[in-house]
Amino acid sequence: MKKLLIPAVILLMCAVSCSKWVFCAADETPPNIVATVPADGDTAVDPGLAELSVTFDEPMKDKNWSWCYENPETFPKMTGDPRYEDGFKKCVLPVQLEPDKEYVIWFNMAEYKNFKDCAGNPLEPVRISFKTAP
């Protein structure tokens, strides 16, 4: 009888030590975007804006993102690495924008699907565009 107890003890220890088991519920629903900065279609973005962000409706997998471009000419110049904030619900990208320019950003795209919730479900690709003020 004693031998049968050991696997149960090991499983319990793993549940405690594997953080994804503790903080990440089993989940088969893809995440949704609830807000972006700038917003899609904004035509008067302050060119001094130093950070873009995308906010999701659930915690995302840390260190995973796919900030994508369809044309490098219309993607902002990045000034740092992306990071998650607000309990991994908000991903921030440091950038330097130019005045009077149109930008296009994809969150996930084709085979690039690293925006995923903490259970691993990828975001369906979303495209936004915005324009900076002169």
Give the binding site for Ca ion (CB under 5 A).
27, 29, 117, 121
**Residue 117 vs 128, nearer CB to Ca ion:** 117
CB of 123 to Ca ion, least distance (A): 10
**Residue 61 vs 103, nearer CB to Ca ion:** 61
**Residue 53 vs 121, nearer CB to Ca ion:** 121
Smallest CA-to-CA distance from 131 within 50, 60, 45 is with 45
CB of 58 to Ca ion, least distance (A): 5
